Amino acid sequence: MPTVGWRGWLVVEVEGALRLCSPRYWMVWQPRAEAVALCRLGERSYWPLRPSVPAHAAPVEGCRCGIYAAPTAARAAASVTDPPRPRGRIVHQVIGRVSLWGRVVECERGWRGERAYPASLVLPAPPQAARRRILPRRRQRSRSVPALEIAHALSAYGVPVELVACETLGELAAALATEGSRQLSGHPAAPSRPSKSA
């Protein structure tokens, strides 16, 4: 069974489609294909204080590489920020459960995995999300996207997608925290409840 934790993603528009994207390094997650960790320490623009670390397969304990997951939704929500140099249009932010497998480094407050794929996704959606539109972040001139449209687009990943009526990821995490079964400690995922949409 894979290790299952929580993490956050940006929802970005890539070639006309909405896709999940890691917030820190702008790695787009493709539907129905696992994400594979790569250590970018060898790239000069990253980590200038440690340029001489030899290349290695991610993750290893002596580095900070790998695909990250946290034990709680709150930690995952707090980690989602816009990247300093986005390479595309950021439409929304989501959190969800993520499966990690391959080599996994267990840390004090989470995990770093070699391979990963979302197990479920949860979107904050303002009340009456079907009618309200979520403004894209940063580029306000771009068209806005309804929350339901985002949820339907993310159904391409083939995992449960759920809309929760709230405004922010923080509120979403607080709502999820009331459901004890969602607070994971590295155990396999509990059976998903039916999604409300998508």
Partner 1 sequence: MEIGEPRRTYTVEPLEDPVPRELPEEAPEHERPADAPAEPEQVPGPTR
Binding site for partner 1 (CB under 8 A): 1-3, 7, 24, 32-34, 59-61, 68, 70, 75-76, 79, 99-112, 117, 119, 157-159
The span from the CA of 187 to the CA of 71, in Å, is 10
Q: How far is the CB of 145 from partner 1 (least distance, A)?
A: 24
d(CA 172, CA 156): 22
Sign of CA dihedral 168, 170, 174, 176: positive
Length of the chain: 198
Q: Which is nearer to partner 1, 36 or 135 (CB)?
A: 36
Min dist CB 95 to partner 1, Å, is 11
Nearer to partner 1, 39 or 125 (CB): 39
Torsion angle of the four alpha carbons 163, 167, 173, 178, in this order, in degrees rounded to the nearest 10: -80
Q: Which is nearer to partner 1, 144 or 168 (CB)?
A: 168
Name residues whose C-beta falls within 8 Å of residue 152's C-beta, 6 or more positions apart in sequence.
Answer: 197, 198
Minimal distance, residue 61 CB to partner 1, in Å: 4
Phi, psi of 81 (to 5 degrees): -135, 160
Smallest separation (angstroms) from partner 1 to the CB of 68 = 5
Closest CB to partner 1 among residues 89, 120: 120
